[in-house]
Structure 1
Amino acid sequence: MPTFTVTGDVDPFLHVNLRKGERIFCESDAMVMMEEPLQVKGRMHGGFGRALLRRLANDESFFQQEIEAVSGDGDCLLSPAMPGGVAILDVTPESPFTLSDSSFLAAESSVQINPRLNTVGGGFFGGTGGFVIMEAVGQGKLAVSGFGSIFTLDVTHGRDIVIDNNHAVAWSSSLVYEVGMPRTGGGFFGSIVNSATSGEGLVIRFRGQGKVVICSRNKTIFRPQQSH
């Protein structure tokens, strides 16, 4: 099977080694370098319907890149569109992962990225993909990216965690999550006031057993500096 490795400390690459006949798919324009035995082509991964939903739901590309080791073994380097870290997750039939907007980077061909209905709160408040979100199912490696540094949290029963809505990258689909305002102890009106005055907007509350991948930066407030 393809070997996924994160290489580099600042804005790292995803290094993938493929043996002859193996394939991966990745986000459009992710390929930075590949060795001669590999070939890349554009493809509507999952068919027209899934490609359209992926474009509408998660702002991903309609066409994705498919990289295949055609004439022998070879390596390739992939890079996410936004500056930041990369996390490698193990997708299994018992452990699918839900993806936030624009977090998908690459996956083995045995992994499928399928549309799934979001929670009511997540659909209304956004930040997690709207009413339709994407879920990685199947079996194999999945690489996700986030703006800034990447960190993976373990959620256990009885120890819920709260994540800022714009810092969640991906999470175990087995987790129960709710989108809302942070708890302040001051009732509904007090929560609104505290949310406005503290600068802390919507949060996602996770409970159950699983993993949550978070990033250190909020891409919604990122503004590239103008050159003078």
Structure 2
Amino acid sequence: MADNRMNFSITSNSQFPLAEIALDCSESVHIQSGSMIYHTPNVVLNTKLNAEANSGLGKFVKAVGRSLSSGEGVFVTQAVAQSNNGRLALAPNMPGQIVPLYLGEKQYRLNDGAFLALDGSASYVMERQSLGRALFGGQGGLFVMTTQGQGTLLVNSFGSIQKVELKDDRITIDNAHVVAWSKELDYDIHLENGFWQSIGTGEGVVNTFAGTGEIYIQSLNIETFANVLRPHLHIDNS
């Protein structure tokens, strides 16, 4: 693709969308584990260790360390087209929306579970967070996924996605509703009103953003939804 952008389409007439990606020869895309619905015979799925270019046991140890500290998987799936006109279809593991983010001048940080696909011309790094952010946040513990390079990132949500734009301003958002945000924004993950006030109001961990940039939020909260379902689930522990 001459413009270095992913060639994709997203079903727009469905509450449960899927994304279909077109790949020409040697083009590749990294995808969320378990998200593949179908692919054409000329698309090959490769499982790789989720670590930078070391080799052997050292690479495996590094991948395991990243998984334990960031919440990432030890392995990552890469789809590669062996000839032109390859097709690959993906769907999120939760009912929600799929939104493309175009990388280049803009780069983003991602919350847990937001990543769906990233084309082969772009990449991401895991940036270390402060201990306070790691203790309170949902962004993968000690590390947060940060994009780099040029290409297309597909993110998914639980529920619908809305973009919030800041222009030299501040906003506080429930951390469980955060999908992704501009790398340029400062962010502070903390309890809304201290420990006891948070228990009393039901508002727990929030994320305060400051500066100029974009924040993508999701309409539903997986933790709240799980609490709604819990009384209706009958688990046999015998």
The TM tier, using the shorter chain, reads: 0.7 to 0.9
Which ranges of structure 1 fall in alignment gaps of 5 or more residues?
Answer: 184-190
**Equivalent residue in structure 1 for 2:126, among 115, 118, 129:** 115
Residues 38, 72 of structure 1: 8 Å contact kept: no
1:85–1:58 distance in 2 versus 1, CA, 3 Å = farther
Deviations 1:128-148 (A, max 9, x none): 222222211111101112212
1:214–1:222 distance in 2 versus 1, CA, 3 Å = same
Alpha-carbon distance between aligned partners in 1 of 2:121 and 2:68, rounded to the nearest angstrom: 23
Alpha-carbon distance between aligned partners in 2 of 1:97 and 1:143, rounded to the nearest angstrom: 12
2:189 is aligned to: 179
1:133 to 2:144 alignment? yes
- More deviation in 7-16 or 20-29? 7-16
1:87 is aligned to: 99
Tell me by how many angstroms 1:220 deviates. 2.4
1:69 to 2:88 alignment? no
1:42 match: secondary structure: strand
Tell me by how many angstroms 1:227 deviates. 8.2
Alpha-carbon distance between aligned partners in 1 of 2:128 and 2:65, rounded to the nearest angstrom: 11
1:17 to 2:22 alignment? yes
Tell me by how many angstroms 1:4 deviates. 2.8
**Structure 2 residue identity aligned to 1:13:** L
Residues 163, 215 of structure 2: 8 Å contact kept: yes
Which ranges of structure 2 fall in alignment gaps of 5 or more residues?
Answer: 53-58
Tell me by how many angstroms 1:221 deviates. 3.4
**Equivalent residue in structure 1 for 2:67, among 55, 60, 66:** 55
Q: Percent identity?
A: 31
Alpha-carbon distance between aligned partners in 2 of 1:90 and 1:50, rounded to the nearest angstrom: 29
1:56 match: secondary structure: helix
Alpha-carbon distance between aligned partners in 2 of 1:100 and 1:60, rounded to the nearest angstrom: 11
1:187 is aligned to: none
1:34 to 2:39 alignment? yes
Tell me by how many angstroms 1:54 deviates. 4.4
RMSD: 2.3
2:172 is aligned to: 162
TM-score (norm 1): 0.85
Tell me by how many angstroms 1:116 deviates. 0.5
**Structure 1 residue identity aligned to 2:9:** T
2:68 match: secondary structure: helix
Alpha-carbon distance between aligned partners in 1 of 2:114 and 2:82, rounded to the nearest angstrom: 28
Alpha-carbon distance between aligned partners in 1 of 2:122 and 2:62, rounded to the nearest angstrom: 14
**Equivalent residue in structure 2 for 1:96, among 104, 107, 112:** 107
Alpha-carbon distance between aligned partners in 1 of 2:195 and 2:73, rounded to the nearest angstrom: 36
